Amino acid sequence: MKVDTSNPLWRFRGVTSAAMMFFAYLYLPIVVLIALSFNENRLATIWTGFTTDWYLVALGNDDMLRAAGNSLIIAVSATVIATLAATLAALGMSSGNRFRGEAGVAAMLALPLLVPEIVTAVATLLFFVALGVKLGLLSVIVAHTVFCIPFAYLPIRARLEGMDPSLTEAAHDLYANEWKAFRRVTLPLLWPGIMSGAMLSFIISLDDFVISYFVGGAGATTLPIYIFGMIRMGITPEVNAVSALMLLVSILFVSVSFLIDRIRY
């Protein structure tokens, strides 16, 4: 691994070794999981040969497909609502719309990123119970929407803050009203941030386990919860195959979100 010697941090003895051990600790188990998903033996820890049959078994599992369908319904619904709310919030808190208490509102928007997810899950469950809300797909969608808003808000706000306000002013000088200036100038420049935030929200919702486990009722089993149930009965190559597929989807969406967010004007 090539080390940037211009960075003063690398001058300390052991930093490079510690960094390599850190990344190995993070990513080697994932590499092992993917490798074992191709294991012919049903005992995941004993390698006997290469096969892709476990992926076919996983994709032919009706219960797993039903859980995946629930995850997609929840993720798409939460993404659409959260992205819309985040876009409106970013526009309302843009540099041209300063108001008293803005710092407090910004802190509230970022709070779900700081609060431990288990705390959010328990508080949301207690809130639903106090209101008498029946736990199911709808309760999970509501909880995921609130949890995903900060993930959609931050890329949109960053994109909005980087825009040149003179472009909108020029549109007004050319007799464009507020709506036309937004539709013809602001929105085309803002869409990479909106798409980036939407993709982040989608993958956060799709991969979420803790909140889904607490606020999901009967018939609201998501794919992460289903995988957790499979693990409790023993780790098999089928579990590894499902996990590898989820990892692939996550990497794809995060990569596309990163590339879209780098699109310049």
Q: Residue by residue, what is the 3-state secondary structure of 194-263?
A: HHHHHHHHHHHHHHCCHHHHHHCCCCCCCHHHHHHHHHHCCCCHHHHHHHHHHHHHHHHHHHHHHHHHCC
User: Which domain CATH number covers 171?
Assistant: 1.10.3720.10
The answer to whether position 2 is within a domain reads: no
- 150 and 174 in a single domain? The answer is yes
Shared-domain flag, residues 151 and 37: no
* Whether 82 contacts 152, CB under 8 Å: yes
Q: Are residues 12 and 61 in the same domain?
A: no
In this structure, are 140 and 124 located in the same domain? yes
Instruction: Check whether residue 41 and residue 115 sit in a common domain.
Output: no
Predicted local distance difference test score (pLDDT) of residue 126: 93
What per-residue confidence (pLDDT) applies to 101? Answer: 67
How high does pLDDT run on average in the chain?
Answer: 83
Give the pLDDT of residue 113. 80
- For residue 1, the model assigns a pLDDT of 46
188 exposure class (CB count in 10 Å sphere: 0-12, 13-18, 19+) = exposed
In a domain, 89, yes or no: yes
Q: Is residue 38 part of a domain?
A: yes
- What pLDDT is attached to residue 249? 84
162, 36: one domain:
no
Residue 39 CB-half CA count within 13 A: 21
Is residue 250 assigned to a domain? yes
Are residue 45 and residue 61 in the same domain, yes or no?
no
Contacts of 164 (CB under 8 A, 6+ apart): none
> Cα dihedral angle (105, 107, 113, 119), rounded to 10 degrees?
-90
Q: Are residues 162 and 250 in the same domain?
A: yes
The three-point CA angle 150-80-85 to 5° equals: 45
Do 43 and 73 fall within a single domain? no
Residue 72 is predicted with a pLDDT of 92
- Flag residues of the chain having pLDDT under 70: 1-12, 44, 95-99, 101-102, 173, 261, 263-265
Q: What angle do CA 182, 191, 261 make, to 5 degrees?
A: 140
195 within domain boundaries:
yes
Do 73 and 189 belong together in one domain? Answer: yes
What's the structural domain count of the chain? 2
Residue 111 lies in a domain: yes
Where among 52, 70, 87 does a domain terminate? 52
174-to-58, 166, 206 alpha-carbon distances in Å: 58, 12, 44
pLDDT in tens, 105-162: 777 777 778 888 899 899 999 999 999 888 889 999 999 999 999 999 988 888 888 7
Could you tell me if residue 1 is inside a domain?
no
- If asked whether residues 151 and 196 sit together in one domain, one would say yes
**Residue range(s) defining the domain that contains residue 224:** 54-261
Does some domain include residue 3? no
- Shared domain for 27 and 129, answered yes or no, is no
pLDDT recorded at residue 109: 78
